[in-house]
Chain A
Amino acid sequence: MAADMRVPPLIGLGWRRPLAAWLDSTPPQVECLELTAEHFFDGGAERLQRLRGQYPLYLHGLGLSLGTPGPLDPQVLAQFCEVARLAQPQWISEHIAFTRTAEVDLGHLNPLATTEENLALMIKHARELSERCQRPLILENITSHLKLPGMPECEFLTRLCEGADCGLLLDVTNLWINAQNHGFDPLEWLRGLPPQRIVQLHIVGYSSHQDAAGRTVYDDNHAVDVQPELLELLSAVCAYAPVQAVILERDDAIPQPAGLIGELAKLRESTVAGCAALGVSG
């Protein structure tokens, strides 16, 4: 059987202000960049235009709240589209979640019940976002302490991708955390998704705490190095799907460039191992 010719994904970082000067110097270890749209809502057009000549860019949104019933917030949508126009990213991404309702802005990502109604809503909003920005869209799985009713999550994601004609931004850390907190096998969950739809990955180390009942609860605080079990899952995802880019998502306790380069090297090694495993197994 011929070996698979899959190209390993690009390995990159989420752009953060403390890293701006270093990233302006185009370090060769950073093969691509993900920009958070909200970081540029109040300016930064020059930087966006410069970065788009330096790196393959992907634009990531936090606050469009695609799962909110009713129309998308026109102001946030216009701001997001303006950043997309300036950055000309290869694709845009948002979350399968809601952050606000008509009554309250919760400010962070919350899960959706995987109902037919929410599926239709997400499809509608996803298509509107992609059409407004004139860019392919990929949607990200979140982590949550809440397990909500509805159809199996993989069925919801698969039908969402088909209905909205979009891809998936698979957050490997979120998958691992949900698997631990809610007690399921992440590899089995992964096999429930269409591999061709998995376009980009997020990864960062997890943390944990004890809840009131003394149970270990896992969190995504984006502040620690990637652990070996996550690298193992990263390899498995790369063996399963033709991933195009992997983004290290550090928000807090961001290491110095040497530390980040070490983290990126670990990711590269794991993705290459995953792609090689595919080649061996055919």
Chain B
Amino acid sequence: MSVRTARTDFISAAPCAALSREAEAAAAPDFTSLLGRLLSDAALRAELSADPQALSRRLRLSTETSALLAQLDPAQLEAQAALLLSKRLHEALKLLPQSFRRLEQELGRAALSALFNAYAGQHWPGDHRRHIEDALNFGALLARQRSAVLDRAELNRLRFLACRRRLQVCVLRTELDGRRRPVLQLLWRHGSKHQEYFIYFGI
């Protein structure tokens, strides 16, 4: 297949002028950092809603940042904060589908979301593997608090995805034909791909 050459005339031929010293000096606004704190901290958002000026004073914000803060719409801020959590829940659902299905059957959708949000509001995993870390952390929480709903095979898979190991062997017990039977879960990695097999015993 021939590859069409890209047009690059959206970029000027002339070299770019260097940024002014003023612009360099101004390149560290703290409003963004404040916004990050507000989006991740429900108590801080409540403080903002109650008394924006008191929050500005307590955080010793500059006049400029205070002026920007005063223009924030608390309802929009809440909506954006809720969106961040819902996107994380959505990703965790894809990685722990059976566990979430059982949790939803037990608690209902609203309580499930509340449980996840209570966890997620306190933990903000970083880097490009954040969804795996999120699901793994929430799975570990379920293992401690609601072990009956947790699908152990899903948690094993997440542990495998989170590490660099080539092979992982886990023993599970599963209900088959009304009896608890041992199952071997094998996970292995080849390059960037991974595969998984289950070996059932006593069938």
A residues within 8 Å of B by Cβ?
A: 10, 26, 38, 40-44, 46-47, 53-56, 62-63, 67-70, 76, 79, 90-91, 98, 100-108, 110, 112-113, 115-118, 120-121, 123-124, 127, 136, 138, 144-150, 161, 163-167, 196-199, 211, 217, 219, 221, 242, 244, 252
Contacts of B71 in A (CB 8 A): 148-149
Interface check B77, CB cutoff 8 A: yes
B192 touches A43 (CB 8 A): yes
Contact of B36 among A42, A101, A115 (CB under 8 A): A101
Q: Are A196 and B32 in contact (CB under 8 A)?
A: no
Contact A217 B10 (CB under 8 A): no
Is A103 within 8 A of B33, CB to CB?
yes
Q: Which one, B24, B128, B191, contacts A46 given CB within 8 A? A: B191
Interface of B is mostly: loop
The total of interchain contacts (Cβ-Cβ below 8 angstroms) comes to 168
Query: A121 contacts which of B6, B27, B124 (Cβ < 8 Å)?
Result: B27
Check: B203 CB closer than 8 A to any chain A CB: no
- Where the two chains meet, the residues of B that have a C-beta atom closer than 8 Å to any C-beta of A are 1, 3-4, 6-12, 16, 19, 23-24, 26-33, 35-37, 39-40, 67-68, 71-73, 76-77, 79-80, 83-84, 87-88, 90, 94, 124-130, 191-192
Q: Do the beta carbons of B191 and A147 come within 8 Å of each other?
A: no
A10 with B83: CB separation less than 8 A: no
Q: Is the CB of B11 within 8 A of A106?
A: no
Q: What are 10 sample pairs from A and B whose C-beta atoms fall under 8 A apart?
A: A38-B128, A41-B128, A54-B1, A91-B6, A98-B32, A98-B36, A106-B39, A106-B84, A121-B29, A244-B7
The smallest C-beta distance from B184 to any residue of chain A, in angstroms, reads 26
A120 B26 Cβ-Cβ under 8 A: yes
How far apart are the CA atoms of A90 and B16 in the complex, in Å? Answer: 20
B128 interface neighbour in A63, A104, A115, Cβ under 8 Å: A63
Known contacts A103-B37, A105-B125; A146 and B76 CB within 8 A of each other: yes
- B88 contacts A56, CB within 8 Å? no
- A131 CA to B146 CA in the complex, in Å? 50
Answer whether A110 and B36 are a contact pair too, CB < 8 Å, given A105-B125, A115-B68, A121-B29.
Answer: yes
Indicate whether A105 sits within 8 Å of B130 (C-beta atoms), given known contacts A67-B32, A69-B30. yes
In the assembled complex, which residues on chain A have CB atoms less than 8 Å from the CB atom of B16? 127, 163-165
